[in-house]
């Protein structure tokens, strides 16, 4: 922490609460419910707990606290403003709290401690919620009770880094950081949302605002929902990716390469600096890729001692990037820690996943993400990550591949495209992997059989349907889930064609509002919080997001590669030869594990009689894919993992 910076008290937490509009519970009953709901998310805040209730209006808040800076009673939550008007239960980090506090003190506000919680609640009392939200820079989810107006408001940060679930039933509103908090309330009986389950089979996660439970919603990023007297509900958007994109495209930066690079360096350096303030050990996830290497480099440039960096490696060839991470760490001079994970260690994580993610979630990189978080937590309490770089700076391979080949593919006669797709799919994955084995390693794509499968899918589509194909697992999921009608969300809304006309930018735009918060940020939040580790994401500072939309496309994709401007910044710190290689995901050899050490587990969960008795899925297509996968004819591990993760979750949470 640099000189002159106010020492702030920051916490990561779990929140929960309710408002009983029927006024049927005593203060003790309200507190007991809020406490039980908060205790259900103890892992998010193991250091302290608190409750608050207003029996006259049926409101109660619960809170669990993970201390990041000094733990003191002055920062205890739920917290009331000094004037007594506002009460807050808050989860998150506000990185500009010190400067906001100075302004509030000038306005006459008095402070008991140094927490960003206190800054938020005093700001809401002084400026009102709307003006406060305009000023906050951070990741957060909170509940605010206005004692004067008798209004409960739930708020989620702009990008959706921190989660918040809520449900409004007859006379009762319940909310919490995770679904398990809602399940802890005795007044609610969970019911399966089959429509959301169909969406899950397509996307391997449940897109917001839906959840696995009927009547329960995820609060959308940049949104608030309020409940006034007599339960009047109001939803409002205070920041949106749509408005950020429109404003950026209408005001493109007309600057040189050098000017763009200088602007990025200034902004991202500041975003990293703000996220390095902590009185507990702090480090960085380092994969050796562009995003994490850039964040680590900017951390090291601002630190007077080696930054602690962490990576995990696998014995399986094609899945281990630890050597690349170590090379970057050695060049930057970080204090680097590696964990080499055996297949057994990775497999041992699987029984923990249903509880960890709390609703069906099937991005298989959840396994290495948890292992990385678990290892990192043994050394530090806070870790910075590079999430968001692909969406902001066009890093996903599909962006420029679709742009490059989409028109040519669409020009091919449909029968020829279908023939090509059939020919690719006819060869088992092992054959494709064997054929690519003769390609020099530096030019060989990772997981070639998966890449060929994606190419087969691209041959079958055109226009935005190529994008739809690439983001889909089960292409007709409501035919798999009995009684379901898949809700078609933002990615199917044709209005987006006019909002973001450029196809690459449109994919970035859609991913930023769907895949990023629903998959990537959910994966990291649950995995890190499961071990009480706080993960901070500098690239998703909202100023970075707005800046990225002002950048013309040439600063993102150039010479057939994405993240051009981000690469140039990294090259100021790390030689290109340590970075340049084919993009890989944070993957595991799931396909072979399903055929091998996980086969008995799969056979049990995919048992035809069990599937039929549950009466949730049509067993036929599932059993066919399982048989084809086991035989090696096809690689269906993505589709099967979706089913397996639901089945494992359902076993823990029977309905």
Active site residue 13: yes
How far apart, in whole angstroms, are the C-alpha atoms of residue 88 and residue 612? 47
Work out the number of other CB atoms within 10 angstroms of the CB of residue 497: 12
Q: Is 397 exposed, middle or buried (0-12, 13-18, 19+ CB in 10 A)?
A: middle
Residues 379 and 283: beta-carbon distance below 8 Å: yes
Residues 217 and 209: beta-carbon distance below 8 Å: yes
**DSSP conformation class of 220:** P
Q: Is 575 helix (H, G, I), strand (E, B) or coil?
A: coil
Q: Is 538 exposed, middle or buried (0-12, 13-18, 19+ CB in 10 A)?
A: buried
**DSSP conformation class of 56:** G
Tokens of 275: 């996220």
Parallel, antiparallel or unpaired: strands 382-384 and 534-536 = parallel
Considering the candidates 13, 124, 205, 602, report the single residue annotated as catalytic.
13
How far apart, in whole angstroms, are the C-alpha atoms of residue 281 and residue 611? 47
Helix (H) or strand (E) holding 502: none
Q: E strands along 482-524, which residues?
A: none
| Rounded-to-10 torsion of CA 422, 426, 427, 428 | 120
Residues 64 and 45: beta-carbon distance below 8 Å: yes
Residues 77 and 92: beta-carbon distance below 8 Å: no
CB-based burial, 183-208: b 16+ in 10 Å, e otherwise: bbbeebebebbbbbbbbbbbbbbbbb
The residues annotated as belonging to the active site are 13
């Amino acid at each position: 922490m640099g000189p002159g910076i106010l020492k702030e008290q920051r916490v990561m937490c779990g929140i929960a609460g309710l408002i009983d509009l029927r006024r049927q519970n005593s203060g003790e009953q309200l507190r007991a419910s809020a406490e039980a709901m908060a205790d259900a998310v103890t892992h998010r805040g193991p250091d302290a707990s608190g409750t608050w209730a207003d029996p006259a209006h049926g409101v109660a808040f619960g809170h669990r606290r993970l201390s990041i800076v000094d733990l003191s009673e002055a920062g205890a939550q739920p917290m009331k403003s000094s004037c007594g008007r506002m009460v807050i239960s808050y989860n998150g980090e506000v990185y500009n709290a010190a400067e906001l506090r100075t302004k509030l003190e000038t306005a006459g506000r008095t402070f008991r401690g140094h927490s960003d919680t206190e800054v938020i609640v005093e700001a809401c009392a002084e400026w009102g919620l709307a003006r406060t939200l305009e000023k906050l820079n951070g990741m957060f989810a909170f509940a605010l009770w206005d004692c004067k107006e008798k209004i409960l408001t739930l708020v989620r940060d702009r990008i959706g880094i921190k989660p918040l679930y809520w449900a409004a039933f007859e006379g009762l509103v319940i909310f919490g950081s995770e679904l398990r908090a809602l399940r802890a309330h005795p007044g609610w009986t969970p019911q399966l949302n089959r429509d959301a389950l169909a969406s899950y089979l397509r996307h391997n996660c449940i897109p917001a605002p839906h959840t696995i439970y009927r009547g329960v919603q995820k609060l959308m990023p940049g949104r608030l929902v309020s409940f006034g007297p007599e339960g009047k509900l109001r939803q409002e958007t205070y920041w949106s990716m749509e408005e950020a994109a429109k404003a950026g495209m209408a005001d493109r930066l007309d600057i040189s390469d050098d000017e763009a690079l200088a602007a990025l360096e200034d902004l991202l350096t500041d975003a990293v600096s703000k996220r390095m303030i902590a009185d507990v050990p702090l480090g960085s996830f380092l994969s050796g890729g562009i995003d994490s290497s850039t964040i680590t480099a900017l951390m090291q440039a601002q630190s007077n001692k080696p930054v602690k960096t962490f990576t995990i490696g696998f014995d399986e060839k094609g899945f281990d990037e630890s050597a690349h991470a170590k090379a970057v760490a050695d060049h930057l001079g970080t204090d680097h820690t590696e964990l080499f994970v055996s297949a057994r260690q990775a497999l041992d994580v699987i029984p923990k996943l249903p509880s960890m993610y709390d609703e069906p979630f099937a991005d298989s990189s959840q396994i290495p993400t948890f292992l990385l978080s678990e290892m990192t937590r043994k050394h530090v309490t806070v870790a910075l990550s590079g999430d968001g770089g692909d969406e902001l700076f066009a890093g996903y391979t599909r962006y420029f591949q679709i742009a490059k080949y989409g028109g040519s593919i669409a020009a091919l006669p449909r029968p020829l495209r279908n023939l090509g797709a059939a020919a690719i799919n006819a060869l088992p994955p092992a054959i494709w992997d064997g054929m690519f084995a003769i390609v020099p390693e530096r030019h060989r794509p990772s997981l070639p059989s998966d890449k060929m499968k994606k190419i087969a899918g691209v041959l079958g589509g055109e226009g935005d349907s190529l994008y739809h194909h690439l983001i889909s697992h089960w292409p007709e999921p409501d035919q798999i889930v009995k009684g379901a009608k898949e809700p078609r969300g933002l990615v199917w809304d044709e209005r987006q064609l006019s909002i973001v006309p450029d196809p690459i930018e449109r994919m970035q735009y859609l991913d930023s509002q769907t895949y990023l918060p629903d998959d990537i940020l959910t994966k990291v939040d649950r995995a890190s919080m499961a071990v009480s580790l706080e993960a901070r994401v500098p690239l998703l500072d909202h100023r970075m997001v707005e800046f990225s939309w002002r950048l013309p496309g040439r600063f993102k994709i150039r010479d057939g590669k994405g993240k051009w401007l981000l690469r140039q910044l990294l090259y100021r710190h790390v030689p290109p030869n340590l970075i340049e290689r084919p993009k890989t995901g944070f993957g595991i050899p799931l396909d072979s594990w399903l055929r091998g050490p996980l086969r008995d587990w799969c056979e049990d969960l995919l048992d035809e009689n069990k599937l039929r008795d549950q009466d949730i899925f049509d067993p036929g297509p599932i059993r066919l894919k399982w048989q084809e996968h086991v035989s090696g004819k096809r690689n269906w591990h993505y589709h099967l993992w979706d089913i397996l993760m639901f089945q494992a979750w359902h076993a823990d949470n029977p309905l």
